[in-house]
Amino acid sequence: MNLFEPLAQRGLNLRNRLVVSPMCQYSAVDGMPNEWHTVHLGSRAVGGAAVVIAEATAVSAQGRISPQDTGLWNQAQQDAWQPIARFIKAEGAIAGVQLAHAGRKASTLRPWEGHGPVPAGQGDWLTVAPSALPFDAGWNVPHALDEAGIQAVIADFRAAAQRALAAGFELIELHAAHGYLLHQFLSPLSNRREDAYGGSFENRSRLVREVIAAVREVWPAELPLWLRISATDWADAGGWDIEQSVQLAAQVKQLGVDLIDVSSGGLLPHVTIPLKPGYQVPFAARIRREAGIATGAVGLITTAQHAADIVANGEADVVLIARESLRDPYFPRRAAQLLDAKIEVPIQYRRAW
C-alpha cells in the first residue's frame, strides 16, 4: 500500500490515506459551528487530506464536553453545518463528522479557561454515566443512566446521524474512546452496572453495538461508518485492553463498521502513557491483523515518511493527523512533495506548483 494510493470505503473513494483527525475547537455557541469552523475545516480540505472529520459533535446538549462544543441535535445546527460540508466536498475531500456523548466528562471548562468541571451556576449541567462514579476527585458525580436514559442516548445518536446526512456529511465516526460515554460503558473501571449493560464483555459492549445498529438503520449503505476506540485504558489492572478491543472490532465489523480509528487512554486521570512517535500504531496493526478490519493509526505521527511507512508496512489503512494538522493545514501537500507523489492541486493554487 502507498500513502497516496486511493482507498475504497463502500461507495466512496478516498483520494489518499491521510485523514484530518477530529479535534475540538471549543468555539461554538449553542452547538452552532461558525466562521471559525468553516475556515479551520475548509483549509484542511484545500490542504489535500482525503477526509476531513469535524470535531466531536454532541448528539445532545447534555452530551457536550464543554459549553462551546458543536452539536447536531437540532435543525439550526444541521443548517449551519451544510455550507461547511459542501465546501469540504467541493475541494475533493470527504466531509466527515464525529458523533459523541461525553458522559461523565461533560460540562467541563474549555482548555484555555481552566481544567475540570464548569463551576456550579455558571452554565453547568447534570452529567450522566453508566455508574455514579466521577472521573476524578473534584469532578461531578454523574447520574447513573436507567434503561429509559440509555434508550434516549441511542435515539440521540440515531437522530444526529440523520441530521449529519441532511447536512451533507458522507462519513460518520462514532466516538467510543477517550473516556467519553461509550468508552465508559466498555470499561469495567467505569461501568459497575449489574444489568444487561454491565458485567460481562457482551454486556459492557452492548450500548456500543446498539448505537451502531441504530445509526446504520438511517445511514446509507453506500456511506462508510467508522468507530474510534481507545485500545487500552493504560490501567495497571482491570481496565479495557487490546484483547477486548480486538474482540469488539471483530463484532462491529459484522454490524456495518468499516474502519476502527485506534487511539488510547482518556478514561482515567493520572495514568502513565509511554508517549513516543507512533506509540499507538501497534494497536492499530494488531486489530487490523486479528479482527480483519481496516484501521486508522493516530498519535504523534508528525512526518511524511513515518506516515508512509505505517501504510506501506500494512500497520494501518489510513493515518489520522491531529496536532500536526493544526501546525500545518497543508501537511498532505508537503508530504506529497517530500515523497515525490502526485496530488491534485486547486486550480487557484496551481501556479505555485
Task: List residues with catalytic annotation.
Answer: 180
SS3 of the chain: helix, strand, coil, percent, to 5: 40, 15, 45
Cell of 130: 453508566
- Is residue 101 a contact partner of residue 181, using CB atoms and an 8 Å limit? yes
Q: What secondary structure does DSSP assign to 82-96, as a single string?
A: HHHHHHHHHTTPEEE
Residue with cell 466536498: 89
Cα–Cα distance, 297 to 231 (Å, whole number):
11
Cell of 88: 469540504
Cα–Cα distance, 129 to 146 (Å, whole number):
10
Q: Distances in Å between the alpha carbon of 73 and those of 92, 153, 158?
A: 27, 12, 10
Specify the DSSP element, H or E, that contains 7: strand 7-9
Cα–Cα distance, 61 to 272 (Å, whole number):
32
Q: 307: Cβ–Cβ under 8 A, 6 or more apart, which residues?
A: 3, 17, 18, 301, 319, 321, 335
The partner residues of 96 in beta bridges, in order of sequence, read 53, 171
Cα–Cα distance, 161 to 219 (Å, whole number):
7
Three-class SS state of 29: strand
Residue with cell 487490546: 242
